[in-house]
Amino acid sequence: MLWKARAGPNIVQILGHKQNFPGHGDQTLFLEYCSHGDLVDYKNYVRRRDAILHVPEELVWHVFIQLSEALDFLHNGPRGAERDDWMPITHWDIKPTNILISSGRTDMCPQIKLADFSRSSIPELLKSHTSIT
């Protein structure tokens, strides 16, 4: 699933993979490095750095907008001609530890990356393989 979504904005990029045990389907994925860890790590970093109790509203909106862009890509595909052949992807496991943070323009404008597609699915494929009797 991650391979299909790799071109999306705000989606963690897969750099490669390795088969761990041939014939067992167990693989190791190599993903891009996200220097600030996940959203929980980043929230704690911002609170410690600024000695504040709450995360600034500017950062909350920034994360929300970039996460929305990632979901728009997963559901609607890339902009332009490629969109016609797109089958929507459902992530199924959005939580703070699956939102990774890379450096951005400033600490209040980091790059948000949606990660962990292990529970994701393509509902259109599920429908075509499921029959209701």
Residue 27 lies in a domain: no
Residue 104 lies in a domain: yes
CATH of the domain at 6: 1.10.510.10
Write down the residue that tokens 């950062």 correspond to. 59
Contact assessment for residue 107 and residue 74, using Cβ atoms and an 8 Å cutoff: no
Contact assessment for residue 70 and residue 89, using Cβ atoms and an 8 Å cutoff: no
Any residues with CB less than 8 A from the CB of 57 and at least 6 apart, and which? none
Q: How many domains does the chain have?
A: 1
Residue 82 lies in a domain: yes
User: Percentage of the chain surpassing pLDDT 90?
Assistant: 18
User: Residue 17, Cβ neighbours under 10 Å: how many?
Assistant: 13
Per residue in 112-132, pLDDT tens? 998 887 767 776 655 554 444
DSSP string for 16-71: EEEEEETTTTEEEEEE---TT-BHHHHHHHHHHHHT-SS--HHHHHHHHHHHHHHH
Measured CA to CA, the distance from residue 48 to residue 37 in angstroms comes to: 15
Residue 44 lies in a domain: yes
Residue 28 lies in a domain: no
Residue 29 lies in a domain: no
pTM of the model: 0.75
Give the C-alpha distances (Å, rounded to integers) separating 15 from 7, 18, 27, 30, 115: 12, 11, 13, 5, 13
Residue 20 lies in a domain: no
How confident is the model over 80-92, as a mean pLDDT? 72
The domain in which residue 71 lies consists of 2-15+36-129
Residue 110 lies in a domain: yes
